Amino acid sequence: MSILDRIIGLRRNGVMGLNERNVRLVAELNPRRLMRLVNDKSVTKQLAQEANIPCPELIGLIRGSFGMRNLKDMLDREHGVAIKPANGSQGNGILVIMGPMKGGYRLANGRRILFEDLRFHVMNILSGMYSLGGLPDAALIEERVRFAGVFDQVSFKGVPDIRIIVVKGVPILAMLRLPTADSDGKANLHKGGVGVGLDLTTGVTRDGMQYDAIIDTHPDTANSLSGIQVPHWDEMLMMATRAYEVTGLGYLGADIVIDAEKGPLLLELNARPGLAIQIANRHGLRPHIEPVLNTDTSQMDAAERIAFGQEIYRSVHTEPQPEAA
Ligand SMILES: Nc1ncnc2c1ncn2[C@@H]1O[C@H](COP(=O)(O)OP(=O)(O)O)[C@@H](O)[C@H]1O
Ligand SMILES: [Mg+2]
């Protein structure tokens, strides 16, 4: 099927474009003053912790060059760390370090990196190389998440994450994102990660996509992407819907990872989540969103909002699918 055919097919499924997302969702549902709560990952982390939503432990926050003095101590963690720009996005500027090794540190892709190179990387983060608008930034040093074995067959050297889209507190669509050899330990789709649609009612994987093309096996492991049960599914839906209560953002994408010991952890929140989730789910956002926009969700509690989102999902996905062109 050509890309054009696929897009036409998806359009019939209520696919939303960037313009409509920006006007109807971001501008309508996300007041600017609230967006700063999620643009900076250190602020999001603090909010989440206050609300008892578990996150990866923050080892250190480096704000200026004087903060660099403790860098070595922060990096010398047996199980590794992730270094990330506080105001970064799409996986840019993130380095996942497996742990210290002789003469340096081991990166997620297996290569060795010297302390001096990591120092230089952090200085680049501080200078704003990866931040929105190039403004000076802070660097987060975070414990490395060690992912649960369930995704071993379908990931390559990195941590898969689960993206859940939440509209007015109602979770409506979700996908699992898997790292690949291309994506360098990160699960971001722009970095070459694989997106796999999830059944919102059960948390079981469906089919996948990579670089906007539809796939059904993982490009590196060649194992089938569908039929995998994401563990802790109900807990993750609860974390995502509570992220709405904490931030007030009417349109958000919650990124959640599963640590083998700690269970689900909230990585970050996005106030402008991307639209590729529609390709991963072979379904547009519109039919899932429309019923939520037409409903007053303010009187519903978290469990009611989850049930509402699942009911919409069920009704949309049991309707006969239009034939692909
Ligand atoms: N603490 C961590 N441990 C291991 N991998 C991580 C960690 N933090 C991020 N990653 C990897 O990097 C990806 C992007 O991280 P995220 O915090 O969502 O930043 P971004 O805003 O750039 O998407 C995640 O999907 C995950 O694969
Ligand atoms: Mg992310």
Give the amino acid at 130: Y
- Judged against a pLDDT cut of 60, whether residue 113 lies above it is answered with yes
Distance CA 17, CA 14 (A): 10
In the chain, which ranges are E strands?
58-62, 81-85, 95-101, 104-107, 112-113, 139-143, 161-167, 170-178, 194-198, 205-210, 213-215, 251-259, 263-270
Would you say the CB of residue 187 lies under 6 angstroms from ligand 1?
Answer: yes
- Judged against a pLDDT cut of 90, whether residue 324 lies above it is answered with no
Whole-number Cα distances in Å, 75 to 68, 79, 299: 11, 10, 46
- Judged against a pLDDT cut of 90, whether residue 196 lies above it is answered with yes
Nearest atom in ligand 1 to 41's CA: 17
Contacts of residue 248, Cβ cutoff 8 Å, sequence gap at least 6 = 31, 34
- Judged against a pLDDT cut of 70, whether residue 10 lies above it is answered with no
Mean pLDDT, residues 199-205: 97
Residue 325: pLDDT band (50, 70, 90) is: very low
Residues 260-306 pLDDT 10s: 999 999 999 999 998 999 989 988 999 999 999 999 999 999 999 99
At 265 the pLDDT is 97
pTM for this one?
Answer: 0.91
Q: Considering the chain, what is the average pLDDT of its residues? A: 90
Mutate to test the pocket of ligand 1, among 44, 58, 84 (most ligand atoms within 8 A of CB): 84
Q: How far is the CA of 91 from the centre of ligand 1 (A)?
A: 7
250 Ramachandran zone, left/alpha/beta (phi>0; psi -120 to 50): alpha
All CATH 3.30.470.20 domain ranges in the chain, comma separated: 3-55+147-318
Residues 32-57 pLDDT 10s: 999 988 999 999 999 999 999 999 99
Angle at 274 between CA 271 and CA 279, to 5 degrees: 145
- Judged against a pLDDT cut of 80, whether residue 207 lies above it is answered with yes
Mean pLDDT, residues 108-123: 93
Residue 197: pLDDT band (50, 70, 90) is: very high
Count of C-beta atoms within a 10 Å radius of residue 245:
13
Determine what percent of the chain is predicted with pLDDT higher than 70: 94
Residue 163: pLDDT band (50, 70, 90) is: very high
At 133 the pLDDT is 83
Which residue's CA is the closest to the ligand 1 atom numbered 5? 159
- Judged against a pLDDT cut of 60, whether residue 108 lies above it is answered with yes
Residue 212: pLDDT band (50, 70, 90) is: confident
Structure tokens, 225: 């992407």
Residue 153: pLDDT band (50, 70, 90) is: confident
- Judged against a pLDDT cut of 80, whether residue 135 lies above it is answered with yes
At 206 the pLDDT is 92
Closest C-alpha to 252, from 169, 137, 129:
169
Would you say the CB of residue 193 lies under 6 angstroms from ligand 1?
Answer: no
Instruction: Determine the topology of domain 3-55+147-318 in CATH.
Output: D-amino Acid Aminotransferase; Chain A, domain 1 (3.30.470)
Q: How far is the CA of 320 from the centre of ligand 1 (A)?
A: 37
Q: Compute the Cα dihedral for 17, 15, 236, 167 and give only its sign.
A: positive
Q: What is the DSSP secondary structure assignment for residue 279, as one 8-state letter? A: H
CA count, 13 A, side-chain hemisphere, 324: 9
At 14 the pLDDT is 86
Which residue's CA is the closest to the ligand 1 atom numbered 13? 186
- Judged against a pLDDT cut of 90, whether residue 13 lies above it is answered with no
